[in-house]
Amino acid sequence: MGYAHLRELQTALTTASDLTTALQSAPNRHDADQLVDVLRQALTAASSLGAETGPTGCALHPHGAVDPLYGDPEDPLPPGYGKCLLCNDRRRRADAHSPHIRRFARPHPRWRRPLSA
């Protein structure tokens, strides 16, 4: 998809360049409108180059499923969650399994460390 938008941008800019080269010292309204239309096409093509690659906007899963809770005002997603259902599911699983905290057992009351000589 990116290549098609790039090609469209190049074509629009070439057309705009050709139109400005052909302009006389005082262009008429039709020529100006034609140039504005071509420049708008170039702007649209240029802005679509950096657009999201799919409905999820995710770099890993651009055409994956959109999380049904995305944008839900009654049950909003936590901060940092995006549209991608696959990534959000991974985050949910990671949040459910918090890191294991290693706790050191207390020594038995009768246990004593031997004294070194």
> How many whole angstroms from its chain centre is CA 57?
4
More confident residue, 98 or 71: 71
Q: Of 26, 84, 98, which Cα lies nearest the Cα of 52? A: 84
Give pTM, 2 decimals.
0.44
pLDDT score at 13: 92
Per-position DSSP letters for 16-35, written without gaps between them: HHHHHHH--SS--HHHHHHH
Give the pLDDT band of residue 86 (cuts 50, 70, 90).
very high
Q: Name the percent of the chain lying above pLDDT 70.
A: 77
pLDDT score at 114: 63
pLDDT score at 37: 92
Q: Of 54, 58, 88, which Cα lies nearest the Cα of 70? A: 88
